[in-house]
Amino acid sequence: MNRLPIINRRFGPSLLSTLLVLGVSVSSTVMAKPNSELAIQETFKPYQCEGNGIISHTGGVSTLNTLKYFGTSITIDVYNSKPEQAGQALCHALNVVQEYHYLASNYSTYPHVENIKSINNSPASIHKIDPKLTALIAAGLDWYDKSDGYFNIALSPVINLWRKHRSECKGKIKDNGLCTKPGMDKLQNAAEYINIEDISLNQADNTIRLKTGMSIDLGGIAKGWMAEKVYEQLKSEGLTSFMINAGGNIRHLGLHTEGREFVTAIEDPLCKKFDYQLPECREFEGQYHEVIHGTDLTIVSSGNYLRYYRVKDKEYHHLIDPKTLQPKPEGISTSVVLDGLQIFADVISTTLFLMPLEQALEFADRSDYLEAVWYLDNEGNKVSSANFDKYRFKLSD
Query: pLDDT per position in the chain (397 positions), as tens?
Result: 333 333 433 333 332 222 222 222 222 222 333 343 333 334 678 899 999 999 999 999 999 999 999 999 999 999 999 999 999 999 999 999 999 999 999 999 999 999 999 999 999 999 999 999 999 999 999 999 999 999 999 999 999 999 999 999 999 999 999 999 999 999 999 999 999 999 999 999 999 999 999 999 999 999 999 999 999 999 999 999 999 999 999 999 999 888 899 999 999 999 999 999 999 999 988 999 999 999 999 999 999 998 999 999 899 999 999 999 999 999 999 999 999 999 999 999 999 999 999 999 999 999 999 999 999 999 999 999 999 999 999 865 5
Task: Please give the biggest Cα pair distance in the chain.
Answer: 78
Contact between residue 119 and residue 106 where contact means Cβ atoms under 8 Å apart: no
What CA dihedral angle connects 64, 65, 67 and 69, to 10 degrees? 20
Alpha helical stretches, state H, the chain:
83-104, 116-121, 131-146, 156-168, 171-175, 184-190, 222-236, 269-273, 345-354, 357-365
Give the per-residue pLDDT at 257: 83
Contacts of 194 by beta carbon, 8 Å cutoff, 6+ apart: 152, 154, 155, 156, 157, 158, 214, 322
Q: How many angstroms separate the CA atoms of 304 and 61, rounded?
A: 34
Q: Output the pLDDT for position 19.
A: 22
Beta bridge partner(s), residue 42: 28
pLDDT digits (tens, 9 = 90+) for 312-332: 989 999 999 999 999 999 999
The answer to whether the beta carbons of residues 335 and 305 sit under 8 Å apart is: no
C-alpha to C-alpha distance for 103 and 311, rounded to whole angstroms: 35
Q: What is the dihedral of CA 142, 153, 222, 115, to 10 degrees?
A: 110
Is there a contact between 60 and 257 (Cβ–Cβ < 8 Å)?
yes
Given this model, what pLDDT does residue 117 score?
A: 98
With a pLDDT cut of 90, the percent of the chain lying above it is 85
* pLDDT of amino acid 396: 58
Distance separating the N- and C-terminal Cα atoms of the chain? 36
Residue type, 78: V
Do residues 46 and 98 touch, judged by C-beta distance below 8 A?
yes
Neighbouring-strand partners of residue 302: 334
How much is the pLDDT for 306? 87
Burial of 269 (0-12, 13-18, 19+ CB in 10 A): buried
Tens of pLDDT, residue by residue over 140-168, are: 999 999 999 999 999 999 999 999 999 99
Q: How far, in Å, CA of 299 to CA of 64, rounded? A: 20
314 Cβ contact partners less than 8 Å away, ≥ 6 residues apart: none
Residue 43's pLDDT is 61
* DSSP state at residue 324: T
* pLDDT at position 3: 36
Which pLDDT score is estimated for 395?
A: 61
Give CA–CA dist 134/142, Å, rounded.
Answer: 12
